Amino acid sequence: MTGKTTPSPVADDEWLARFILFSKWVRANDQTVKPDAFIPHPHPDLSVTRHKNLTDQELWRIGQGIADGRPAKFYGRADIRAAEVRRQALEVQPKPVCGNPNHANVTGWPLEKSAQKSIAQQLAAAAPYLRNPVTAG
Amino acid sequence: MTLALTAFAPFSFGLAATVGSSGVAQFVAQQFERGRRRLRDSNSLGAGVGVALEELSDVAGQCGSPNWDGYGAVPVKRETLEQAYRFLEALPLGMPAPSVGAEPDGHITFEWHHSVRRTLSVSVSPESDLYYAALLGLSKAYGTEPFFGEMPQAILDLIDRVISA
């Protein structure tokens, strides 16, 4: 996948990563991710990174690049299957950006905030959290 | 807790600020409020709310500038922090304190969490709206309530259902 070619559609069995740069998006007691991490903003899209064709190291490196751009501490990532996203009547659109050809947007969110929260809660429940091996200590 | 209270020092909440104008009424209200604060300082709710206030102060510090999440989040406004503080103040005695967070749209969140399938999240907006969503086993609930300084019954009921699991 390069910027010169049309990215392939996102398959149901693909994993998507949501990078966590805010410590309070992770519950301290059980290391699960809060729905706050999946609220789409700037609305209407939620940024994610496809795992497709990336090694784990490359995936962490992309997250670190986002953190460095802020700059912020890179805590970890929440991974979710595209099928789980579609189960919520959302869609995943490939949207390569500079420095991250695997970038994608989760689209189709309802306008109403509480409905967004409900979906975010269900996505969070299906998204295992992985700590950044570099900063996990 | 001292830091959080200092940060919100200009704001006065509680019965003392709202009960009638007679001296007796004011005295009773002040005593009630003093007792309530003493109780908070001496039981589990007090400790929990103290932690929540510290978390709120922490969120204010971490989410006060644009792009605090790396994805273009908007800063948490002072008005939102004021409403969030009032929300904590409105928690009934005996209620477990929530964990505190923030969303990319600048709302403050309060969460009561038993498990990923039994959990409640409430977002506080600067316009005094409360957006809530709960997972209760296989069922779910969500909606919006206005916040006028008292905890809406719909949210109290959901807290009860989450923590009594």
Residues sharing a CB contact under 8 Å with residue A118, sequence separation 6 or more, in sequence order: B133, B140, B141, B142
What is the ipTM, given to two decimal places?
0.91
pTM: 0.84
Does the beta carbon of A111 lie under 8 angstroms from any beta carbon of chain B? no
For residue range A72-105, what is the model confidence (pLDDT) as tens digits? 899 999 999 999 999 999 999 999 999 899 999 9
The dihedral sign for the CA sequence B129, A26, B59, B13: positive
For residue range B20-35, what is the model confidence (pLDDT) as tens digits? 445 555 655 565 565 5
Q: Where are the domains of chain B?
A: 2-163
| Residues A72 and B62: beta-carbon distance below 8 Å | no
Residue A51 has pLDDT above 60, yes or no: yes
Closest alpha carbon within chain A to B55: A24
For residue A94, give the amino acid letter: P
Q: Token pair for residue A115?
A: 């409905």
Residue to test with chain B: of A25, A36, A45, most B Cβ within 10 A: A36
Which among B101, B116, B131 has CB closest to A25? B101
| Residues A35 and A124: beta-carbon distance below 8 Å | yes
Q: Token pair for residue B104?
A: 């990319």
**Residue A69 and residue B142: Cβ atoms within 8 Å?**
no
Q: Nearest CA of chain A to the CA of B3: how many Å?
A: 19
Closest alpha carbon within chain A to B56: A24
**Residue B103 and residue A36: Cβ atoms within 8 Å?**
yes
